[in-house]
């Protein structure tokens, strides 16, 4: 339901793009709940979106039956007694991108718990925001203002950057840098978090003082190296001596 742990360290939470796709309302990034609405649509706050342009945005949760391995049952819980959930917004809203206005169907009343498609509903025509800034491939700031695509990620972000190593999730930061081909025909280089650039890759180890640790990263994050052409942008820029660390 949320990307908020310290690992994996994703670059962005793309779900945030869809929250304000429809003019006048704001949806939760992970379900069909109307979080907020402008004055003329205040009656929609707290309701749940059921259909957009005639297509449902929720599905019934099905799972194996505990009584019959060949049968499926609706998966229910005290927080979700109807056993329904919202589909991913990219799939639900792709067909309305480029349209000016669409018919949206909401529950007739505000609902704290997910509701089935058969519940009483009302229909409202809503304008659709443009997805991109004019003549660009940049996501419209009406959909996501600066910082909003990452605000649902780790807090603080340094944990993400440090946790995700060895070409794992954090493609937003380098790993194996300053690489060269040696006489032995092998690639040599540095781990981006190495205090000293020796040309020898130091395997990631949180207790290894040869590598930048959490404390150094929190205190001196601005000293992290940018990479230009796979090389350190400022080779003489160094982190202060590492703190003593206990295993």
Residues 25 and 38: their CA atoms lie apart, in Å, by 6
Question: Tell me, what's the pLDDT at 5?
Answer: 45
Question: Tell me, what's the pLDDT at 247?
Answer: 53
Question: Tell me, what's the pLDDT at 169?
Answer: 53
Measure the CA angle with vertex 34, ends 32 and 38; round to 5°: 150
Residues 131 and 133: their CA atoms lie apart, in Å, by 7
Residues 100 and 98: their CA atoms lie apart, in Å, by 7
- Calculate the alpha carbon distances from 141 to 79, 130, 144, 185, 216 in Å: 34, 10, 5, 48, 34
The phi, psi pair for 27, rounded to 5°, reads -100, 160
Question: Tell me, what's the pLDDT at 75?
Answer: 94
Domain boundaries along the sequence of the chain? 21-127, 157-232
Q: Which residues of the chain have pLDDT under 70?
A: 1-11, 154-157, 160, 164-172, 243-247
């Amino acid at each position: 339901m949320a990307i908020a742990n310290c690992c994996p360290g994703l670059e962005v939470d793309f779900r945030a793009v869809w929250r304000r796709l429809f003019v006048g309302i704001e949806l939760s990034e992970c379900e069909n709940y109307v979080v907020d609405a402008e004055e003329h649509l205040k009656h929609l706050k707290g309701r749940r979106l059921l259909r957009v342009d005639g297509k449902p945005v929720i599905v019934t949760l099905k799972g194996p039956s505990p009584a019959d391995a060949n049968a499926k049952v609706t998966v229910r819980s005290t927080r979700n007694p109807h056993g329904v959930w919202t589909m991913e917004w990219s799939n639900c809203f792709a067909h309305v991108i480029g349209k000016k206005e669409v018919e949206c169907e909401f529950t007739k009343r505000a609902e704290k718990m997910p509701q089935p498609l058969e519940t009483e509903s009302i229909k409202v025509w809503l304008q659709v925001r443009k997805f991109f800034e004019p003549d660009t491939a940049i996501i419209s700031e009406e959909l996501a203002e600066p910082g909003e695509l990452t605000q649902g990620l780790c807090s603080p972000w340094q944990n993400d950057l440090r946790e995700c190593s060895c070409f794992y999730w954090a493609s937003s930061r380098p790993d194996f840098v300053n690489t060269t081909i040696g006489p032995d025909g092998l690639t040599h280089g540095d781990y981006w978090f190495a205090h000293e650039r020796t040309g020898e890759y130091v395997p990631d180890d949180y207790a290894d003082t040869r590598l930048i640790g959490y404390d150094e990263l929190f205190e001196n994050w601005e000293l992290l190296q940018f990479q230009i052409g796979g090389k350190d942008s400022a080779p003489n820029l160094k982190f202060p001596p590492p703190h003593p660390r206990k295993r």
